Amino acid sequence: MTTINLANLTELQAINKKLASGYHISEQDTTLWQQLDQNIDAYQALFSALGHDLHHDARGFYYLASDESTPNMGKISRAIALTVFILIEHFANQGKDPLRAIFDETADLELMQTLVQLNKHLFDQLEIFSGSDLRKDVYLRMVRLGLARETEQGFMHLAPLYRYIDALMEVNEENFDGLEEEL
C-alpha cells in the first residue's frame, strides 16, 4: 500500500479538476505534468481510492480512463476520431508521413475547410458543414481535452492525440484480421 503525503501533492486540486473534466495533462502543462511525474505512485493510489484509474502514457501524458458511456461524449469522440482519421488519410494522400505531419503541421482554417469539403458526406452526419464548424465543434473541444493547443496560425496536435490514433489502428487491425479470416 502506498503512503500518501498530501503535503507533497501541491497541485492536487488543479490536477483533479483537469483530469476529472476529461483533460489530458501533457508535457506542455509543465507544472502539472512535473507534479504528476514526480509523485505518480501517490497520485495513482489517491485516484484509485477515489474510484478512478489514472493512466500514464509513456508518450508524455496522463489521463483518467473512462468508459465514455455518455451519449454526448460518444458524439465528441466520434467527431474527433473522424477528424484524426481524415487528417491521416489527407496527409498520406499528399505523400507525407501522416504521423509526422499530424504533429508537425498546423491545422488552420484552410486545411479544415479542405477536409470538410473533401469528406462532406462523412462530416454531414456529424452536422459539421464548414471549416468554421470543424474548428468550433471539434478543435475547440480538442483544446478543452488537452489533445491540441491553439496558436496564432491554427491548432497544433499534442501527444494525447495518440489515444485516438491507437484506437483507429486497433479498429483497422480488427478489420484486416476479419478480412483475412474471410479469405
Domains and CATH numbers, the chain: 9-65 (1.10.10.2250), 75-178 (1.10.10)
Q: What is the per-residue pLDDT for 179? A: 44
The rounded distance, in Å, linking the Cα atoms of 32 and 26 is 8
Q: What is the per-residue pLDDT for 91? A: 97
Q: What is the per-residue pLDDT for 67? A: 62
Q: What is the per-residue pLDDT for 171? A: 74
* pLDDT < 50 positions in the chain: 179, 183
Q: What is the per-residue pLDDT for 172? A: 66
